Amino acid sequence: MAQQQHSGLVGLPQGAYLRLLLFFLGPAVIVYTLFSIYPLLATILNSLYSHQKDGSYVWNGLGNFHTLLFDHTWSHPFWNALKNNFIFFLIHMCVQNPIGLLLAALLSLPRLRFRATYRTLIFMPTMLSVVVIGFVWQLILSPLWGIAKMFLGFFGLGFLFAPWLGVESSALVTVSLISVWQFVGIPMILIYTALLAIPDELIDAATVDGLNQFQAFVWVKLPLIWPTIGLVSILTFVNNFNAFDLIYAMKGALAGPNFSTDIMGTLFYRTFFGNQLQLGDPSMGSAIATMMLLVILIGVMAYLFLVQRRIQRYSF
């Protein structure tokens, strides 16, 4: 039956085949071009022009990028935002993904009860609005009416409390950990799915060889899910360098205090659209967006050529 259908499809005239291809792929190509390809190319092109006060655009070549990287007025905010973005990413890599791996390993234990309930509760913050998350955590951590100080005081740790969101040295770490709390369910689900795909025969063979559950996870399961861990890592990199909403919801466009939580997304927003006394500059904003794209491309290409090629793939 399947062979007859395949033969009928191959036997179609070329014109009919092209019309069929256009019918199924055409809408997706149009939508993808209008909302992804065209804005991307327009942003790159716009970064090569200089926006004048009268609203006109003058060809500037790579001048906007030279200004962004070497002019002190622009370079200091740019390098500060790029540094903060790397810190934001490293916290997610070193905290969120290991916790996601640990939770996935615990949920995959065969004798664990109520695993569906635990999985749902852990993943639930991911489905909440970022605005709601930011507002709730601002209330929790507020030194005036937040419950964090009372909670620590209940355990005799009240001396550890500080206005973490209002201190330059701790604001970025605090926002990053809030983001980790919200999105830890994503790596957990991806790794948990990969663990469920491992054949039971391999685990049974490891058990027969004398390995306990921890040893079976380290020596059997972990090598098999390296491709998924690599995927989680690159998704974390891309998402963190596209981050904007949580910091904007909690700290505003100025990413205070004193730009200590400023990342590429908030810098782009202030530059392109303007904020308070700062006028918007679409050309410089496009240059920042292009630099964001370049950083993401470099990271993805480095992963594909330096890491992905070394990950051994297993198929069952």
Neighbours of 191 (CB within 10 A): 25
- Name the domain count of the chain: 1
Confidence of residue 2 (pLDDT cuts 50, 70, 90): very low
Give the phi and the psi of residue 59 in degrees, each rounded to 5: -60, 130
d(Cα 195, Cα 220) in Å, to the nearest integer?
11
**Residue 165 belongs to some domain of the structure:** yes
Greatest mean pLDDT among 4-13, 109-118, 171-180 lies in: 171-180
Are 237 and 247 in contact by the 8 Å Cβ rule? The answer is no
**Residue 14 belongs to some domain of the structure:** no
Note the Cα 75 to chain centre separation in Å: 25
Would you put residue 149 in left (φ > 0), alpha (ψ -120 to 50) or beta?
alpha
**Residue 40 belongs to some domain of the structure:** no
d(Cα 294, Cα 47) in Å, to the nearest integer?
13
CATH number at residue 296: 1.10.3720.10
Instruction: Report the range of poorest mean pLDDT among 6-10, 73-77, 179-183, 272-276.
Output: 6-10
pLDDT at 7: 42
3 vs 276, more confident: 276
* pTM of the predicted model as reported, rounded to 2 decimal places: 0.88
pLDDT digit string, tens, across residues 237-270 = 999 999 999 999 999 999 989 999 999 999 999 9
**Residue 275 belongs to some domain of the structure:** yes
**Residue 99 belongs to some domain of the structure:** yes
Query: Taking 90 as the threshold, does the pLDDT of residue 204 lie above it?
Result: no
pLDDT at 19: 87
pLDDT digit string, tens, across residues 96-137 = 999 999 999 999 888 888 888 999 999 999 999 999 999 999
Domain ranges, residue 256: 74-310
Residue 248's nearest CA partner among 276, 269, 278 is 269
Which whole number is the average pLDDT over 58-67? 93
pLDDT digit string, tens, across residues 115-124 = 889 999 999 9
